[in-house]
A and B are shown apart, each in its own frame.
Chain A
């Protein structure tokens, strides 16, 4: 019997160690992440002022803001999202409604998953070779396309998933009324899946708005305010990257303010997306 008592004691001890370990690492992880958020918010707020939203990026030592980068980021994200929504929703629809169990469907699905988590810097290199090198200039359009290629797989995946959740009876009743399949998809299925697709779009938007690597070789940067997407364009992530690596405290401060802006935008969009997905589940 003594053996069995010791056995139980050992099991108890093992459990205490395990539970202690899980609690401890959770505490450590949360502390680290809270510290990151704390520096982000405190340093970012310290650098925040009205100039950020009214002036363009400065040279070191002169006052300036981030408005060219903010506008550039927004414009390229919009171009990226428009292209990505077009490709993503249609491709997701094909996968869910037309591909069925076909081999090609399985291949597309699998490679879309790979594309979904491919290193973004490689997408940047690809777009550089396609749109920057041949036209001999970095451009906001190339930046937008690079962002689109990052967002499209996310939207494809979500669109396929939510369309598959729509009941088959919906499709059948539409077709039974004499509507062509594309009409059923457009007026019934897309409408039913709208919330889910919107969630996917918002998550994709959150993903691309913080991307830096693919913009380095496509949109490059621009010291001045510009609406012209045929030429190099500033973006928040790239400005942060360059300003953070300079030895000038005022540029570092600007980088923190930009980082706070991006993080706040991403968090807001994610929270909104979560609210939408909850609504569609209800």
Chain B
């Protein structure tokens, strides 16, 4: 209150009132700019991608041949679409238990003197640009992965068994599984930080009463605190998924960039974002329309996921 009195807003001359509608209109137009941007993204992608969608119809989404050679241009994006979905889902499956474990550890188990440093470190790591994760994947992780994971597993897989198919590919360290692992490492700090923030909103009384009834730490987390933030937690997970779906750089470095369906875990593949990043600048005509249409597909997928996530986080915040 004292600041309000000290600030002493000067009495304005009546003409100051004339600016009120102008200021209001300025603020309003800024807000509308944001709306128009999002609408503009959809419209621009739809218009730019229309030639490809009109030409290939449903085959654009279900066709598996992506062939930009000028004589017989065919664009079927099933490979990148499936690649996007598989790598994101795999990354989420790997990152979720770890992120949950880190968050539970920080909130329930961690010695107090370590809580702040580890918590801060996780939050800072969530801000590291994804290209750094991509570079690490390319130069450090891929050689290690090829030598100590891919090659041994491929030699160990009995010929003719299902494992031979699962582990098929080229043992060069890049491929579907490698990209999923890098994605998982990239979304991990973000998901852990968000989950931790959510778990910290559980009132101490709720947690203490559970402990008071004799519940073990596992029971407190699984049956009291986690259900308490359930909707928010689902929202946070889906935000992580949204990041993985749209991630370009961390994936492009290490997925191998080939278009067809990936045949095994170590086979190279592509995602929507990596395909656009690799080809857009060299593309023209129908190919660039096809890439923009691919962007539209990515937008629809991520918009759905993000909208669901935001709705869930919002309900959590309210009640």
Contact = CB atoms under 8 A, between A and B. Distances in A.
B173 to A, nearest CB: 14
A130 B40 CA distance: 9
A226 interface: no
A98 B24 contact: yes
Given A40-B136, A114-B306, A271-B124, A180 B44 contact: no
Nearest to A243: B135
A280 interface: no
Interface string B90-128: 000000011101101110110000000010110011011
Given A22-B109, A188-B4, A113 B310 contact: yes
B127 A207 contact: yes
Contact of A259 (B5, B131, B273, B299): B131
Contacts, number: 283
Contacts of A241: 131, 249, 252
A74 interface: no
Contacts of B102: 22, 25-26, 29
A56 to B, nearest CB: 20
Contacts of B45: 122, 125-126
A121 B276 contact: yes
A142 interface: no
Interface size bracket, A side? 35 or more
A122 B298 contact: yes
A165 B98 CA distance: 34
Interface of A: 11-12, 14-15, 17-19, 21-26, 28-30, 32-33, 35-36, 39-40, 43, 86-91, 93-95, 97-99, 107-108, 110-115, 117-123, 125-126, 128-130, 149, 152-153, 156, 167, 169-170, 173-174, 177-188, 191-192, 203, 206-207, 209-213, 216-217, 220, 237, 240-241, 244-245, 252, 255-256, 259, 262-263, 266-267, 270-271, 274
A12 B34 contact: no
B30 A87 contact: yes
Interface stretch (B64-72, B75-83, B159-167, B211-219): B211-219
Interface in B211-249: 216-219, 221-222, 239, 242-243, 245-249
B38 to A, nearest CB: 5
9 tightest Cβ-Cβ pairs between the two chains A and B: A210-B129, A119-B246, A90-B30, A25-B101, A18-B218, A94-B27, A182-B23, A15-B216, A213-B248
B interface, over-half SS? helix
A234 B30 CA distance: 29
Contacts of B306: 113-114, 117-118
Given A180-B12, A255-B135, A213 B277 contact: yes
A71 to B, nearest CB: 19
Nearest to B140: A39
Contacts of B60: none
Contacts of B20: 180-182
Given A153-B34, A180-B19, A213-B249, A36 B132 contact: yes
Contact of A256 (B1, B4, B135): B135
